[in-house]
Amino acid sequence: MKSYSIALIPGDGIGRDVTAAAWTVLEKAAGNFGFALVGTEFPWSCSFFKDTGRMMPEDGIETLRGFDAILLGAVGWPAAVPDSVSLHGLLLPIRKAFVQYANIRPHRLLPGVTGPLRAERFDILCIRENTEGEYSGAGGRVHQGTLDEVAVETSIFTRAGVERILRFGFEQARSRRGKLASVTKSNAQKYSMVFWDEMTRKLAADYPDVTVTSYHVDALAARMIMAPESLDVVVASNLFGDILTDIGAAIQGGLGYAASANINPDRSAPSMFEPVHGSAPDIAHLGIANPIAAIWSGAMMLDHLREKVAAERVMKAVEATTAKGIGTIPGKDSTEAITAAIVAALT
């Protein structure tokens, strides 16, 4: 029997509840479809930081490297640990160390879920650059606390980094409806984004079957709300992609439905699967977090592990559940009830 080793990092707040929910569904899927998932849980989180002074042990990255995939809940508990410490101590280093350069985030309405828009038929796949750009971490502060204070944070766009994410976007567009929206801001950012646009045009020659359009990020943000059905694959830099995918989450009914996969496309290190949302301190401990985003992310993990049938059947079970109105109204159904309904629908 095939067996996959999965590192589980539930993290903070509702991350714990939704990871447990996703794991329950994934284990049922493994049983049904004849493979094994062997989970190893790591308590790395803000409470781990309180106990140890670190978000993960010094050899945390090396520990994770041996796993087939990582399933993560959410990281961050700003009341206890500043986000700038917690995220740079756990989530962001994993994305970078394992070269998970493609962050894939699907946005569509599940059956039975009512979004805020009139448009109900949209199916957008956002591809977010995940290792450099505005998140490069290059910068510093001097003269802190004085009138001469300076804070600098430099975006870094490398040719290798831009080319690989754009190619990934073109490939995804080719495997879908053949439309790629490349997100820019070259009217204001005259170095990095002009370079991004040039690379988009250059690579377009290799993908004559894909129709590529460059949109400024502000206009694309509006388009995602006014005409989301006009979009297929969207490829964006790290920060632009972060912001646009919260819009994507909003139009698909909320963060409780937005899934995400941090992919290392050449499989030289594990990929990581996590919902788009965070630890939701405002509803943590209430037992009402929607686990669908985490379960959908788990389905993306099965797909990446090449368990395609199981991945599809998990999504079918999610869709059958929301079609019945379960998990479609915020706060109505408990995390446990939604999970149980999905497990029951998984055949």
Of 4, 101, 135, 215, the active-site residue reads 135
Supply φ then ψ for residue 271, to 5 degrees: -95, 165
Residue closest to Mn ion, measured at CB: 242
Does 194 bind ligand NAD (CB under 6 A)? Our answer is no
Judge contact between 317 and 345, C-beta under 8 A: yes
Contact characters 85-124, ligand NAD, x per CB under 6 A: --x---x---------------------------------
Indicate the DSSP class of residue 147: T
Contacts (CB under 6 A) with ligand NAD, residues 249-268:
255-256
Closest CB 49 distance from ligand NAD, rounded Å: 12
Known catalytic residue at 246:
yes
Does 78 bind ligand NAD (CB under 6 A)? Our answer is yes
**DSSP string over 293-327:** HHHHHHHHHHHHTT-HHHHHHHHHHHHHHHHTTTT
Which residue among 85, 87, 204, 283 contacts ligand IPM (CB under 6 A)? 87
Run of H or E residues at 153: strand 150-156
Copy the structure tokens of residue 50: 């309180």
Of 4, 28, 101, 185, the active-site residue reads 185
Supply φ then ψ for residue 140, to 5 degrees: 175, 175
C-alpha–C-alpha distance, residues 159 and 200, integer Å = 11
Q: Which is nearer to ligand NAD, 58 or 282 (CB)?
A: 282
Which of Mn ion, ligand IPM, ligand NAD, none does residue 280 bind to, with CB < 5 to 8 Å depending on kind? ligand NAD
The β-bridge relationship of strands 133-142 and 150-156 is antiparallel
Which of Mn ion, ligand IPM, ligand NAD, none does residue 105 bind to, with CB < 5 to 8 Å depending on kind? none
Closest CB 86 distance from ligand IPM, rounded Å: 9
Q: Count CA within 13 A, CB hemisphere, residue 318.
A: 29
Q: Which is nearer to ligand IPM, 55 or 276 (CB)?
A: 276
C-alpha–C-alpha distance, residues 78 and 324, integer Å = 36
Does 303 bind Mn ion (CB under 5 A)? Our answer is no
Give me the torsion for CA of 211, 173, 220, 303, rounded to 10°. 180
Q: Which is nearer to Mn ion, 242 or 333 (CB)?
A: 242
Indicate the DSSP class of residue 232: S
Closest CB 298 distance from Mn ion, rounded Å: 19
Q: Which is nearer to ligand IPM, 87 or 204 (CB)?
A: 87
Helix (H, G, I), strand (E, B) or coil at 231: coil
* Cα–Cα nearest to 32, from 305, 293, 344: 344
Helix (H, G, I), strand (E, B) or coil at 270: coil
What residue ranges bind Mn ion (CB under 5 A)?
Answer: 242
Task: Name the residues that contact ligand IPM, by CB under 6 A.
Answer: 87, 92, 242, 276, 278
Catalytic residue ranges: 135, 185, 218, 242, 246
Please give the residue ranges that form the binding site for ligand NAD (CB under 6 A).
14, 18, 74-76, 78, 83, 87, 91, 255-256, 274, 277-283, 289-290, 293
